[in-house]
């Protein structure tokens, strides 16, 4: 049985080049599907990695109770001191708690590639910024000073937007700002932000409340005490989260959406490719009808014939899958893209084609090949030998 | 010698929609072991249908088909395929060789259904090719061979597994006179010197002369030449 199957399958695979035209329908169709699936999944992965990279276990973010994100949170100025005085907050050399009350606001900047205005987060932070977020490193220039309209720009934002080089002046509605530094935060969400002094941002944008308070803790284990102190304090109504938890929640929606798009759009295209494969395999079987009938007349069973059809479909599908994944990797892997992030502003991240994604793509290709080969294989097995031998 | 083929009251009907067409009518036929039978008759008279029944490619609507001692009308599809592999060698009008395989590969095909080792398969295929006079073309693809040579390869394929009978449907229908005579001569040698029972459909009276016995069909029935 194995002998027959192997012989019939090899014979058929060697004949594929003669059916190049119809065979390429499978390869190209599946390549398209897999390329789309792989690039959207790469987008989801890149986004997730960027956001999941943000945050440390020993840093906590405090938001108004019930608010999901910084944008719809507010914290009264008076509460800042209460929060930073809570147990577990780390102190600097001078004995001051390390933490900042922050606000975010959306500003518009032209993109480098097409000049279109795009949303960017301008974060108001405080003088403790360097201690609070040590991962945030200045590449060029210096930190902003309080009480003057100076800001620093994340490396991701500097790559994406026009006119944000060191020393340049940026105009927002009714305030002009000077870029005094470029920083990198190692590819996390802050990389796409502009950061300035919180009081200066509040006055420029006529705001008086904070939106969040971020505090550095003595240790990751200090979180429980910190959280308990705040949530049991009757003067506060706040939610306290570790940063990684907060960012994971922020990215969940978009990651979900991207995954949905990947599988939904990928699924629809896959159905199309499957019909293409079906068609190709039907025509392959009918062009082999005489050959199959002759084999059956000689005494070959249906199994080798069925397997030879599947082998052809799967081989072509795998070829298409590999081609699609390779194209997606070649063209998109490492490409920087930006999308609406947590605060409805741009988050810059890189498409990341992981081996896992490639494997998903190949599985999809095999699945399409299997379905596309199924009915033609059944037809091949049931081929009426006598009629096929009669047909000229 | 006994009969290798016995057909008893065999009828074959096709149903096309409501219409029922009877292609063979209550047909009786015996063919002795070692015979060379030419089955003649006008186009559409049912020659191929009859040959397919004898070769176990098709089943009768009614009646019994006993070939090589087996009631092949009672065999299941898979059993029938095994039976064909063991007992029948087919030769077709258009050779039906596998274009991707060499002459040698084509001749080895039926041996894949046996327990022979690769070396034995190779040796037996070469022997069959030697019998048909094509040992020197073993490596050639069908497209590199003439029609007559392709039919020789097909005959080698039909006889390589040492079947009980050779079943040939218009084996010279696509060949010129001279090549046809060579092929018919070959079938005659296989019958006379190798003892193969040969059943050959043809509408060429010259071809039929190579046979020991001629049968004539008309409108689904044997008309004469029943006794040789
Ligand atoms: N599958 C089929 N369905 C209906 N009619 C068929 C089928 N196969 C053969 N026939 C008919 O049976 C008759 C005999 O065919 P065939 O045995 O091929 O004749 P011959 O080989 O003598 O030319 C023809 O009239 C043909 O049209
Ligand atoms: Mg015929």
User: What pLDDT, in 10s, does the model give residues A333-371?
Assistant: 877 666 655 454 556 677 888 999 999 999 999 999 999
Q: Whose CA is nearest to atom 21 of ligand 1?
A: B48
B23 neighbors B14 (Cβ within 8 angstroms): yes
Lowest mean pLDDT among A41-50, A217-226, A352-361: A41-50
Task: Say how many Å lie between the CA of residue A326 and the centre of ligand 2.
Answer: 53
Measured CA angle at B183 (ends B177, B186), to 5 deg = 140
Range of the domain at B188: 33-56+80-227
Interchain pair A299, B113: CB under 8 A: yes
Q: Which residues have a Cβ under 8 Å from the Cβ of A277 and sit 6 or more positions away?
A: A25, A26, A29, A30, A313, A316, A317, A368, A369, A371, A372, A373
- Chain B residue with CA closest to A302: the answer is B78
Is residue B10 domain-resident? Answer: no
Is residue B9 domain-resident? Answer: no
- Around ligand 1, the residues with Cβ closer than 6 Å are A 387; B 14, 16, 21, 23, 41, 43-49
CATH code for position B139: 3.40.50.300
CA distance B212 to B208: 9
Other beta carbons less than 10 A from residue A259's beta carbon? 16
Could you tell me which residues are beta bridge partners of residue A118? A109
Task: Say how many Å lie between the CA of residue B49 and the centre of ligand 1.
Answer: 6
What is the arithmetic mean of pLDDT over A255-275? 85
What pLDDT is recorded for position A375?
92
Which candidate, B2, B60, B17, places its Cα nearest to that of B220? B60
- Chain B residue with CA closest to A14: the answer is B100
CA distance A169 to A172: 10
ipTM value for the complex = 0.93
Is residue B14 domain-resident? Answer: no
Structure tokens at A264: 């939904």
Q: Which atom of ligand 1 is nearest to the CA of B46?
A: 17
Interchain pair A299, B48: CB under 8 A: no
- Chain A residues with beta carbon closer than 8 angstroms to that of B72: none
Is residue B66 domain-resident? Answer: no
Structure tokens at A23: 């065979």
Percent of chain A with pLDDT over 90: 50
- Chain B residue with CA closest to A300: the answer is B81
A42 neighbors A335 (Cβ within 8 angstroms): no
Is residue B118 domain-resident? Answer: yes
Residue pairs between chains A and B whose CB atoms are closer than 8 Å: 53
Q: Which atom of ligand 1 is nearest to the CA of B47?
A: 22
Question: Please, is A171 exposed, middle or buried when counting C-beta atoms within 10 Å of its C-beta (0-12, 13-18, 19+)?
Answer: exposed
The protein residues having their C-beta less than 5 angstroms from ligand 2 (an ion) are B 48
Is residue B125 domain-resident? Answer: yes
Is residue B38 domain-resident? Answer: yes
Number of domains chain B is built from: 1
- By three-state DSSP, how is residue B58 classified? coil
Residue B12 confidence (pLDDT) above 60: yes
Interchain pair B85, A291: CB under 8 A: no
User: What pLDDT, in 10s, does the model give residues B135-176?
Assistant: 999 999 999 999 999 999 999 999 999 999 999 999 998 889
Query: Which DSSP symbol is given to A147?
Result: T
Strand pairing of A99-110 and A212-216? antiparallel
B114: closest CA of chain A, how far (Å): 10
Could you give the C-alpha distances from B76 to A295, A338, B59, B64, B71, in angstroms and in order?
Answer: 18, 65, 10, 15, 11
Is residue B20 domain-resident? Answer: no
Q: Would you mind telling me the total number of residues written for chain A in this entry?
A: 392
Lowest mean pLDDT among A96-110, A261-275, B47-61: A261-275
Burial B70-101, CB ≥16 within 10 A → b, else e: bebbebeeeebbbbbbbbbbbbbbbbbbbebb
What pLDDT is recorded for position B227?
42
> What are the φ/ψ torsions at residue A42 (nearest 5 degrees)?
-65, -35
């Amino acid at each position: 049985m194995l002998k027959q199957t192997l012989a019939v399958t090899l014979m058929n695979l060697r004949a594929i080049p003669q059916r190049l035209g119809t065979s390429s329908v499978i390869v190209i169709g599946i390549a398209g599907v897999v390329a789309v699936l792989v690039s959207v999944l790469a987008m989801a992965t890149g986004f997730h990695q960027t956001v999941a990279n943000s945050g440390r276990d020993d840093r906590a973010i405090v938001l108004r109770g019930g608010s999901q994100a910084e944008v719809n949170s507010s914290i009264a100025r008076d509460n800042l001191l209460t929060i930073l005085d809570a147990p577990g907050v780390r102190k600097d050399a001078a004995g001051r708690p390390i933490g900042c009350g922050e606000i975010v606001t959306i500003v518009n900047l032209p993109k480098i590639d097409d000049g279109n205005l795009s949303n960017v987060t301008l974060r108001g932070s405080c003088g403790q910024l360097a201690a609070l977020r040590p991962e945030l490193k200045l590449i060029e220039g210096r930190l902003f000073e309080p009480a003057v309209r100076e800001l620093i720009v994340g490396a991701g934002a500097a790559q994406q937007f026009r006119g944000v080089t060191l020393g340049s002046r940026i105009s927002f509605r009714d305030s002009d700002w000077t870029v005094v530094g470029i920083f990198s935060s190692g590819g996390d969400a802050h990389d796409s932000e502009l950061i300035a002094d919180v009081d200066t941002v509040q006055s420029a944008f006529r705001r008086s409340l904070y939106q969040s308070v971020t505090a550095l803790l003595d240790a990751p284990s200090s979180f429980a005490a910190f959280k308990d102190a705040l949530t049991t304090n009757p003067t506060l109504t706040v939610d306290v989260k570790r940063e990684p938890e907060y960012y994971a929640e922020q990215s969940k929606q978009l990651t979900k959406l991207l995954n949905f798009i990947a599988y939904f759009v990928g699924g629809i295209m896959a159905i199309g490719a499957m019909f293409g494969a079906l068609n190709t395999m039907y025509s392959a079987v009918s062009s082999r009808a005489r050959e199959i009938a002759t084999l059956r007349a000689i005494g070959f069973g249906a199994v080798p014939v069925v397997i030879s059809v599947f082998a052809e479909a799967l081989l072509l599908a795998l070829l298409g899958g590999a081609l699609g994944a390779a194209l997606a990797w070649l063209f998109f892997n490492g490409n920087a893209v930006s999308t609406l992030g947590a605060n409805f502003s741009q988050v810059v991240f890189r498409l990341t084609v992981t081996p896992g994604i490639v494997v998903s793509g190949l599985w999809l290709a095999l699945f399409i090949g299997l379905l596309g080969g199924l009915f033609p294989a059944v037809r091949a097995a049931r081929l009426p030998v006598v009629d096929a031998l009669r047909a000229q | 010698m006994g009969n290798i083929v016995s057909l008893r009251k065999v009828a074959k009907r096709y149903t096309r929609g409501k219409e029922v067409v009877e292609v063979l009518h209550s047909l009786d036929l015996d063919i002795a072991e070692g015979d060379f039978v030419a089955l003649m008759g006008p186009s559409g008279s049912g020659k191929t249908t009859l040959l397919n029944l004898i070769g176990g490619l098709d089943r009768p609507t009614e009646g019994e088909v006993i070939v090589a001692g087996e009631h092949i009308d009672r065999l299941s599809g898979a059993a029938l395929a095994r039976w064909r592999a063991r007992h029948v060698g087919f030769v077709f009008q258009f050779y039906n060789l596998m274009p991707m395989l060499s002459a040698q590969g084509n001749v080895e095909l039926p041996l894949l259904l046996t327990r022979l080792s690769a070396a034995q398969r190779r040796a037996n295929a070469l022997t069959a090719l030697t019998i048909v006079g094509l040992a020197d073309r073993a490596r050639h693809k069908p497209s590199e061979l003439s029609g007559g040579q392709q039919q020789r390869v097909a005959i080698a394929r039909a006889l390589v597994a040492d079947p009980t009978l050779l079943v040939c449907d218009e084996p010279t229908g696509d060949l010129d006179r001279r090549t046809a005579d060579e092929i018919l001569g070959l079938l005659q040698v296989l019958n006379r010197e190798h003892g193969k029972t040969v059943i050959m459909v043809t509408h060429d009276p010259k071809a039929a002369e190579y046979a020991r016995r001629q049968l004539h069909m008309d409108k689904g029935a044997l008309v004469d030449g029943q006794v040789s």
